[in-house]
Amino acid sequence: MDQTDVGKVSRLAERLACHSCDLVFDISVLDDGESASCTRCGEFLTRYRADELERVIAYSSAALILLGLACSYPFMSFKSSGLESTMTLPQTALNLWHYGLPGEALLVGAFIVLIPGLVMLLMLMLAIALVLEKHYRWLRPVGRLLFTLQSWCMVDVYFVGVLVSLVKIGHMATVIMGLSFWAYAVFSLLFVLAISVLDRVQCWHRIEVLSRP
């Protein structure tokens, strides 16, 4: 890749067609923090942040650490009538398996732990490669897999469901939130932030520039 192309990696893409109506826009004039939407149909196009990749690295690396903590410590404990039960995050899926629901167990484990963790790992790998401005053969496949898996993550949905369940369970037993609960809560926040910060248009523009022979 030519040295002049390397300098363009951090720059904006010049033109972009609307995904809905195909109207072409010049987005090279966007400043840091500005976004662009289609003037014809109102479709969101892109948002430019000068420190986008640095934010993604910070959010995704912290999220991976917190996910590890969330899987290693008790999620919550229940106390009722002298009996106490402790549950960990992996047990959320394992209990379904023991109750004879292997399909549901695999889906829960994949949507709340495996896929979100993989998304954060892929996002961290991609962001580091783009910051270093180095071309790797896996950039395009990782980019496609990353943006495909994003829609299959149920981190925020699961955590909202847990909060709703706590309201009902709180009337029947004493609930104690463990370290895993708070780690997963912060992980959910960082996950959403990382997803929202990484702009698909700007990410693919950087990949295409680095992929030029």
SS3 string, the chain, reads CCHHHHCCCCCCCCEEECCCCCCEEECCCCCCCCEEECCCCCCEEEECCCCHHHHHHHHHHHHHHHHHHHCCCEEEEEEECCEEEEEEHHHHHHHHHHCCCHHHHHHHHHHHHHHHHHHHHHHHHHHHHHHHCCCCCCHHHHHHHHHHHHHHCCHHHHHHHHHHHHHHHCCCCEEEECHHHHHHHHHHHHHHHHHHHCCHHHHHHHHHHHHCC
Residue 78 reports pLDDT greater than 80: no
At residue 7, the pLDDT reads: 45
Asked if the model's pLDDT at residue 28 lies above 60, the reply is yes
> Domain-by-domain residue ranges, the chain?
1-50, 52-198
CA angle (66, 70, 76) in 5-degree steps:
140
pLDDT at 117: 94
Residue type, 195: I
pLDDT value at 68 more than 90: yes
Reply yes or no on whether the pLDDT at 193 is more than 80. yes
What would the mean pLDDT of 59-75 be, rounded to a whole number? Answer: 92
Measured from the Cβ of residue 15, the count of other Cβ atoms closer than 10 Å reads: 9
82 pLDDT band (50/70/90 cuts)? low
pLDDT of res. 182: 92
- What's the rounded Cα separation, in Å, for the pair 38 and 31? 17
| The pLDDT of residue 11 | 53
Averaged confidence pLDDT in the chain = 81
Least confident of 34-48, 115-129, 145-159: 34-48
pLDDT the model gives residue 3:
41
Instruction: Give percent of the chain above pLDDT 90.
Output: 26
Contacts of 133 (CB under 8 A, 6+ apart): 6, 9, 210
Mean pLDDT of 173-202: 87
Adjacent-strand bridge partners of 80: 83
**Domain 52-198 carries which CATH code?**
1.20.140
pLDDT score for 5? 42
b/e sequence 85-115, b meaning 16+ C-beta within 10 Å: eebbbbebbeebbeeeeeeebeebbbbbbeb
Which of 73, 209, 94, 61 minimizes the C-alpha distance to 140? 209
Tens of pLDDT, residue by residue over 84-107, are 677 788 888 888 888 888 888 898
Instruction: Give the pLDDT mean for 96-124.
Output: 88
pLDDT band at 2 (very low <50, low <70, confident <90, very high): very low
* Residue 69, both tokens: 């903590």
